[in-house]
């Protein structure tokens, strides 16, 4: 940089980070994350907390006993659920020479940076919301823990088909809670299990689609999202089935980028210094966003007891 500090300060880098590229990264995170792509997005949060009313008591209807019978009153009640926005950050160290190339020689810096940022955001969000891994203390229990507490789970047996499709299978667990399942989240290991399923005659249950030669991996007609961002923990759940729109999230702060020109970057687990920016002639781009999520779990006619009601159910891995 030949001592020209201004060349790597934020105003000089903004030309490398136009508005369309910032949006491209957050859209990429949506593609990589089951939470952001399958759950329902609410309007952006105006503050760090968003309260939403959730139906908690159903009205009751009555037949009248004759023309002169008095009409009765009924009650409806709403509980309050709260989304708390917490910050997620990713730091991407970049050698100054790479920035020089991007500026002077048209180097495709976003072609290098974007996929890694997508994976990092998608993984940390899914880990926290689905499995409680690394989640902020202000956030509620994740999807798997909530299903466990509501007994919306099936212990896996050798009969995978019955475990999922049976009268008391994973799909039925969601339906008995008063919700209609419309999606599946699983790890890539489930693909092999689905391919290996056969009927009593030995024919595969998941036949190829002869029109386009692709394999169908839908479960009961529901689309299945196989997480490939490293977040899925099949030791906690072989698959998750649920009404995806019953889980909601809201973004408090869209993706922002800040250029760091000095300091060190530590491994959060070992505290070891991974990069010393000044000493190694590097800068770092810090990507930050804030979001919150909630599982409203509104009351319905089939299951009025909220402790037994859950819009998601899981298949627990068979213990050897």
Task: Please give the torsion angle defined by the CA atoms of residues 232, 91, 293 and 145, in that order, rounded to the nearest 10 degrees.
Answer: 30
Do the Cβ atoms of 265 and 277 come closer than 8 Å?
yes
What's the Cα-to-Cα distance from 43 to each of 206, 254, 257, 293, rounded to whole Å?
38, 12, 22, 12
Rounded Cα distance, 155 and 196, in Å: 20
Give the domains, in start order, of the chain with CATH numbers: 5-59+76-316 (3.90.1690)
So what's the pLDDT on residue 140? 94
> How many Å separate Cα 85 from the centre of its chain?
15
Tell me the sheet residues that pair with 239.
Answer: 186, 315
Rounded Cα distance, 150 and 42, in Å: 25
Give residue-wise pLDDT tens across range 183-241.
999 998 888 888 887 777 777 666 544 345 555 677 888 888 999 888 999 999 999 99
Give the burial class of 225: count Cβ atoms within 10 A of its Cβ; 0-12 exposed, 13-18 middle, 19 or more buried. middle
Hey, how many other C-beta atoms are within 10 angstroms of the C-beta on 165?
A: 14
Pick the closest to residue 296 from 146, 145, 134 (CA basis). Answer: 146
94 CB contacts (<8 Å, ≥6 apart)? 109, 113, 282, 283, 284, 285
So what's the pLDDT on residue 75? 54
Rounded Cα distance, 312 and 236, in Å: 14
So what's the pLDDT on residue 256? 77
Low-confidence ranges of the chain (pLDDT < 70): 1-28, 30-31, 53-64, 66-79, 105, 107, 110, 204-216, 319-320
So what's the pLDDT on residue 175? 96
> How many Å separate Cα 130 from the centre of its chain?
7
Give residue-wise pLDDT tens across range 264-298.
888 878 889 888 898 888 888 888 889 999 999 88
Q: Which residue has the tokens 């709260």?
A: 82
So what's the pLDDT on residue 254? 74
């Amino acid at each position: 940089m030949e001592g020209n500090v201004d060349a790597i300060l934020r105003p000089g880098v903004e030309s490398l980070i136009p508005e369309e590229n910032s949006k491209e990264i957050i859209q990429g995170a949506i593609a990589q994350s089951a939470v952001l792509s399958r759950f329902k997005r609410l309007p952006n949060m105006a503050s760090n907390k968003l309260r939403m009313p959730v139906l908690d008591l159903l009205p009751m209807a009555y037949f009248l006993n004759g023309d002169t019978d008095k009409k009765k009153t009924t009650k409806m009640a709403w509980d309050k659920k709260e989304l708390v926005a917490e910050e997620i950050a990713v730091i991407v160290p970049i050698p100054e020479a790479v920035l020089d190339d991007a500026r002077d020689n048209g180097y495709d810096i976003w072609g290098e940076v974007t996929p890694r940022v997508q994976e990092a955001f998608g993984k940390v969000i899914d880990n926290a919301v689905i499995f409680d891994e690394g989640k902020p203390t202000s956030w509620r229990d994740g999807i798997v823990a909530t299903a466990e507490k509501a007994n919306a789970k099936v212990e896996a047996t050798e009969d995978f088909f019955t475990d999922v499709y049976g009268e008391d299978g994973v799909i039925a667990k969601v339906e008995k809670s008063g919700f209609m399942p419309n999606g599946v989240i699983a790890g890539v290991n489930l693909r092999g299990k689905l391919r290996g399923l056969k009927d009593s005659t030995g024919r595969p249950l998941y036949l190829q689609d002869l029109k386009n030669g692709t394999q169908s991996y839908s479960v009961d007609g529901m689309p299945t999202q196989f997480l490939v961002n490293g977040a899925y923990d099949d030791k906690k759940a072989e698959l998750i089935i649920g009404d995806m729109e019953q889980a909601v999230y809201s973004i408090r702060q869209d993706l922002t980028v800040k250029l760091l020109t000095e300091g060190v970057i530590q491994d959060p687990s070992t505290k070891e210094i991974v990069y010393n920016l000044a000493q190694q002639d590097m800068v770092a781009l810090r990507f930050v966003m804030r979001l919150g999520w909630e599982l409203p779990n509104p009351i319905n006619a089939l299951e009025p007891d909220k402790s037994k009601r859950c819009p998601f159910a899981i298949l627990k891995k068979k213990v050897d």
